[in-house]
Structure formats: structure tokens, C-alpha cells
Amino acid sequence: MTKTLLLLPGDGIGPEVTAVARRVAGRLIAGGLDLAVEEGPFGGASIDAHGVPLTDETLARAKAADAVLMGAVGGPQWAGQPYDKRPEAGLLGLRAGMNVYANLRPARCFSALADASSLKRIHVEGLDILFVRELVGGVYFGTPRGIETLPDGSRRGVNTHVYTSAEIRRVARVAFALARGRTGAVCSAEKGNVMEAGLLWREEVQALRDAEYPDIKLSHMLADNMAMQLVKNPRQFDVILTDNLFGDILSDEAAMLTGSLGMLPSAAIGDDGAPGLYEPIHGSAPDIAGRGVANPCAAVLSLAMALRHSLGEPALALRVEAAVEAALDGGARTADLGGNLTTVAMGDAILARL
Ligand code: IPM
Ligand code: MG
């Protein structure tokens, strides 16, 4: 049966990098992959066209697809809007609407790029961390939330960090299952020393491991210590399990260790059989948008993750990943990697090795 990939190019460099992913998908389709590729409006582009960052129609199409590949959202022209009219609100709405609660963010150091890291090569060569970040709960979505004016005229801002045991366990399951295909080690981060929800996180993760995943080597680390350990000795980690906010912060830190933010893909998945949401880790990069110089590798590698996790094509995923690595090994570099290839030329270099 034909599977469907919905592309949401979004804003800034999003359309430029997803166009390359689309070419790669086209090549695989020409080679026999039974996939239909569609496109929809999203983010700031959707605000301009439809008044909202995520239309009901785009959400319905995303839920009906097998996988969704997003470019990037946001830009200065929408920054002054009320919160619910910003591109970012569309992204949170899409994550929640698709119920993609487990965000997989690999921080992998490509050998050809190890010298671009801010850490010495000996600390990052071979680095291969997989973040599993909870994505539809915690302080991003908890209520009450808002800004209120107090009787004395001062203001009070409130957000609520909240997790239930079920929300913790379902994302921990994803981390444990993925760890079984790696070294079997999971390190879970929280601030159980100051937050009850962090303590619950630690207890639930440990209880699930003891009951159902006794083969997993589980450790716990306070999130501040993890921030420090990630720059001190990042290769001690294999799978890292975090809540939504700590995962946002720590995965940016780990991504930078690899020296190449423009290289890193991500996947957001939910229950078995439900569509996944795939996106580069980088943002819309308004400073270089429209110039055709963005690095398309993260978008192409996000397509590879979609092939693996949502489209049932793990062998094709490996081929796409190998093509990106071979292009890099052959010296292909966009500007962010110290080279001068355009987005399209980098795409050509990848396609030539596919
Ligand atoms: C990310 C981003 C988003 C987040 C923003 C754009 C809402 O930083 O995907 O990491 O905070 O989750
Ligand atoms: Mg972030």
C-alpha cells in the first residue's frame, strides 16, 4: 500500500532544505519505494496565508499521513504576535495533536567534522548520544499558565511543570526499547532534589526498569550535573532520557558538541503505528534564508529517520545515511561546515552517492 509523507516546509531555510529531502525521496521512489509526497502550509507561512500557524486541515492531513517531515518555523516578522499566533505555537499544537510524545535527538559526531567541535577531537570523536525527550507534557503544556496582573499592579507569570506516571512511563519505554539496540545503557535526568515532579520521574523510570527491563543499565543524574558532564566527558552517555524542558536545553548543548548543528535530524514518535514527526534540529535561520546556502543534511537525515521509524524501510534509511556520510568524506561542505557548496550542490553530492 502506498505510504504518505507530508512535507511542511515552513519558514526561513525550511523550504530550501526540505526541497533537497524531497529530491532524495523522489530518487527512492524512482527506485521502487511506494511513497506519495504531499505538501502543506505550516508556521509563519500558514499565518500569512490562513491567519493561524496550524490549520485544522494541516493537522488532519498530518494525522492521516504515515510520516510528516517539517523544515523549520519562525522568523522575526512573526515575533511580535500574541503567543497563540506565533509559528512556535503551531509546532507545539502539531506535536500535541499528533501525540508524538517521544522526541529522538541523536547527537552524533561525524568523523569528517570532529575538528569543528568546540571540544577537542579526543572528546567527541565517535560521539553517539541518543536523546529521548518527552515532548507533549511538562512545563510546556501544564496548567495553570499565564501572566496576571496583581491588585498592586505588579505582574505574576505562571507555568506548571506536571507529569503523570503514565506520561513518564510511555516515554521511558521508548528509551529502554531503543537502548536494547545500542549498548543498553540509559541515563535519566531530572531535578528530583528540588522538584516533586522530578522525584516522581526518577521513581517511575526506575520502577519500570525493574519490572520490565532488567537488562537495561539505568542510571539517574541531576540535570545540572548532566549539563556539566556533557562538556566534561560526553562519551560516557549512550541513551539519555529527559523531560520536555531539560531535553530542550541539554539536546542543544549536546548538538553543539558535534560541531555541526546543521547536520542533526530528529524524530518525534508516539504509539506504534501512529505517524511520526521528523525535523532538523536547526531553526529557520532567517539570516541566511533565501540565499541558497543552508545545509540540507539535517533535513535529508530526518527523512532517513522517517524511513526507519514510520515508513518501514530501515535498509533505505541506512542507504540515505551512508550517502550523506560519503558526501562528507568526499569533502562536500556547505558554508556552515567551512565549505562553499550551495544547498542544491550539497544535495547533488548526496544524490550522487545514493
Ligand atoms: C526545539 C525548539 C522548540 C522547543 C521551540 C521552537 C518551540 O527549541 O524543538 O527544541 O522548545 O521545543
Ligand atoms: Mg530547542
Q: For a ligand 1 pocket test, name from 88, 92, 131 the mutation site with the most ligand atoms within 8 angstroms of its C-beta.
A: 88
At the fourth CATH level, the homologous superfamily of domain 109-261 is Isopropylmalate Dehydrogenase (3.40.718.10)
Residue-wise pLDDT for 159-171, tens only, equals: 999 999 999 999 9
Domain 1-101+270-354 homologous superfamily, CATH? Isopropylmalate Dehydrogenase (3.40.718.10)
Specify the residue with its C-alpha closest to ligand 1, atom 12. 248
**pLDDT tens-place string over residues 216-275:** 999 999 999 999 999 999 999 999 999 999 999 999 999 989 877 889 999 999 999 999
12 pLDDT tier (thresholds 50, 70, 90): very high
Look up residue 336 and give its three cell numbers. 556552515
pLDDT, tens only, 35-80: 999 999 999 999 999 999 999 999 999 999 999 999 999 999 998 8
Q: Which ligand is nearest to the CA of 103?
A: 1
Domain ranges within the chain, ordered by starting residue: 1-101+270-354, 109-261
For the CA atoms of the chain, what is the radius of gyration? 20
| DSSP strand pairing (265-269 vs 102-108) | antiparallel
CA atoms of 84 and 74, how far apart (whole Å): 13
pLDDT of 166-196, one tens digit each? 999 999 999 999 999 999 999 999 999 999 9
Identify any residues that bridge with 241 across adjacent strands, giving them in sequence order. Answer: 132, 188
Which residues are catalytically annotated? Answer: 140, 191, 224, 248, 252
Closest CA to 132 of 109, 159, 107, 110: 107
- Whether 1-101+270-354 and 109-261 share one fold: the answer is yes
Q: Which residues contact 135 (CB under 8 A, 6 or more apart)?
A: 95, 100, 101, 102, 103, 171, 244, 247, 268
Report how far ligand 1's centroid is from the alpha carbon of 55 (Å).
Answer: 19
For strand 239-242 and strand 128-134, is the pairing parallel, antiparallel, or unpaired?
parallel
Q: What is the pLDDT of residues 114-130, one digit of tens each?
A: 888 889 999 999 999 99
**This prediction's pTM:** 0.95
Protein residues near ligand 2, an ion, with CB under 5 A: 248
Using alpha carbons only, give the angle 139, 144, 147 rounded to the nearest 5 degrees: 95
Residue of higher predicted confidence among 43 and 84: 43
